[in-house]
Amino acid sequence: MEHEVDWRTDVTENKLREFLDSSRSQPRPTTGQTPIDRVTIQFGSVIVNTDTLGICDVSQVPSGIVIECPSGEYELEAECYVYGNDARVARVTAKLTGTQPAPGALLGTFGVDMAMAAVFDNDALMAFVEDRPKEYASWINNDVMMYEWESAGTLVCEPVGVEIPYFEVGFGDGRYRAYALEGDDQIVGIEAVFLDENAPYF
């Protein structure tokens, strides 16, 4: 069964986090169990003021997969697989508001070693890295690495005023595929796949 949950959020509420946290209780599902349900959740947006959107491990912004895309608001949507008393994020899409893009080419893979990924305005953060490298390093070491992470939320890079939505991925660390989302002869988003179709519980 698959159904839509039309939830939008801001930086103080995150419906993906609410869903993931409420889905988890004892006993845990058995290893090898296949999903019994799928839930699709709209959980906010990311603003791109430049012309590049990125996705990577939450502790390594900006890096990972980067695409050239129109500036604007990109809606975030997660497809979650439900394994009894545990739900996991199988894929996340970030698409330009108002578009209905089609899946496109494989962009590559990116590594995750904090069990969470983030989407972000790449050029805005790269300018921070290049123009103020010491301040960037301090932000990573003191703000990012010491952050009290939730299952999903929004990290704010206060030195440059950029919001960075983040979320748990699949069953944790690994390498994950990212695909272009294409519409009107241009790339208008990213889709990242964290669990293959009907992936067994791990």
Region 74-96 average pLDDT: 97
- Categorize the per-residue pLDDT at 20 as very low, low, confident or very high, splitting at 50, 70 and 90: very high
Domain boundaries, the chain: 2-193
pLDDT at residue number 185: 87
Render pLDDT for 126-184 as a digit per residue (tens, 0 to 9). 999 999 999 999 999 999 998 999 999 999 999 999 999 999 999 999 999 999 999 98
Region 112-127 average pLDDT: 96
Radius of gyration for the alpha carbons in the chain, expressed in angstroms and rounded: 16
Q: CA-to-CA distance for 158 and 154, rounded, in angstroms?
A: 12
- Cβ–Cβ under 8 Å, residues 83 and 35: yes
For 67-167, where are the alpha helices, taking DSSP H only? 122-131, 133-139
pLDDT at residue number 7: 32
> Which residues, 6+ apart, have CB-to-CB distance to 116 below 8 Å?
57, 58, 149, 166, 167, 168, 169
pLDDT at residue number 160: 92
Region 4-21 average pLDDT: 65
CA atoms in the 13 A half-sphere facing the CB of 192: 32
How does the average pLDDT of the chain come out, rounded?
Answer: 92
Q: Could you tell me the CA-to-CA distances from 143 to 56, 68, 128 in Å, in that order?
A: 17, 28, 15
Q: Is the peptide bond before 62 cis (omega within 30 degrees of 0)?
A: yes
pLDDT at residue number 6: 36
Does the pLDDT value for residue 197 go beyond 80? yes
Report the percent of the chain where pLDDT is more than 70: 94
The pTM of this model reads 0.90
Alpha carbon of residue 24 to chain centroid: 20
pLDDT at residue number 184: 84
CA-nearest of 120, 116, 140 to 129 is 140
Q: Could you tell me the CA-to-CA distances from 95 to 8, 12, 159 in Å, in that order?
A: 14, 22, 26
